[in-house]
Copies of this chain bind each other. A is one copy, B any other.
Amino acid sequence: MAENRPLILISNDDGVISKGISELIKALRPLGDLVVVAPDRPRSGASCAMTVTEPIHYQLVRQEPGLLVYKCSGTPTDCVKLAFHTICERRPDLVVGGINHGDNSAVNVHYSGTMGVVIEGCLKGVPSIGFSLCDHDPNADFTAALPYVRRIAATILERGLPALTCLNVNFPVGALKGLRLCQQTKGQWTNEWENFAHRGDANYFWLTGQFENQEPDNQLCDHWALDNGYVAVTPVTVDVTAYPLIESLSFMADPSFLTED
């Protein structure tokens, strides 16, 4: 690979054969040399999980000028860690996750394997972006998103991002009205399990659920942007310290704390 072109590391959580990662490769190819290290099977909801109980394996599956594609038996986080350690010949200039089939806005940032890719890239000190489309269909139409994907990636390649920060970019379905910088929508998942009784045992459940938006009218939120046809760019920090609490809980550091009633 050419030393003078940017190196972009790509992974996802839908797996190496998903349409979303193919579309991402297509969008980013003009920007640099691409190394793709993606799970060999769907890993949706993998968060920042790592494989600690067994070894993982990777294999080259496609090689073209400026593009290497590997499948890996590990999680999205494993893929990024292994790419940095072993697969990439030089340090990537950008790490990109996606394009995910499904919404990773709001609290989904915590569960997302796509954002697992991005958080790992960020922890390694490399500017990192996750792209997701609010459509779970394996044949989802990514056409409207691709110019934004390329432009955002090119911008971050050029300008970088502050330490300990990365981007979570979500696309609504359909025509795009523009782009908004957003905050993470507060809310929670409800009705999360569907009973799936099996051979007379009622204790089987399959994950499902509805997202209950606690601030549906807050125009600063990523969920609002998506509901109203905008690309939602939510900057994310990997320093999750709740700084104000350090002061308000300082009474716990008093030597009397352990013995008081």
Contacts and interface: CB of A to CB of B under 8 A. Distances in A.
A237 B241 contact: yes
A181 B250 contact: yes
16 contacts: A45-B52, A49-B111, A55-B204, A85-B191, A85-B193, A110-B119, A110-B123, A151-B257, A155-B257, A165-B242, A165-B245, A179-B257, A181-B245, A183-B241, A183-B246, A184-B241
A236 interface: yes
Q: Which 9 pairs, one residue from A and one from B, show the smallest C-beta to C-beta distance?
A: A235-B245, A235-B242, A45-B50, A47-B47, A47-B48, A49-B49, A237-B242, A183-B241, A165-B242
Q: How many monomers of this protein are in the complex?
A: 2
A162 B245 contact: yes
B57 A203 contact: yes
Contacts of A48: 47-48, 110-111
Contacts of A229: none
Contacts of A124: 188
A60 B84 CA distance: 43
A46 B49 contact: yes
Nearest to A240: B236
A42 to B, nearest CB: 6
Nearest to A60: B203
Interface of A: 42, 44-59, 75, 77-78, 81-82, 84-86, 107, 109-111, 113, 116, 119, 123-125, 147-148, 151-152, 155, 161-162, 164-165, 178-184, 186, 188-189, 191-193, 196, 198, 201, 203-207, 220, 233-250, 252-253, 255, 257-258
B242 A236 contact: yes
A107 B238 contact: yes
A125 B50 contact: no
Contact of A164 (B116, B186, B207, B246): B186
Contact of A188 (B47, B56, B125): B125
Contacts of A56: 204-207
A204 B57 contact: yes
A247 to B, nearest CB: 8
B193 A81 contact: yes
Nearest to A54: B206
A207 B50 contact: yes
A6 to B, nearest CB: 17
A249 to B, nearest CB: 5
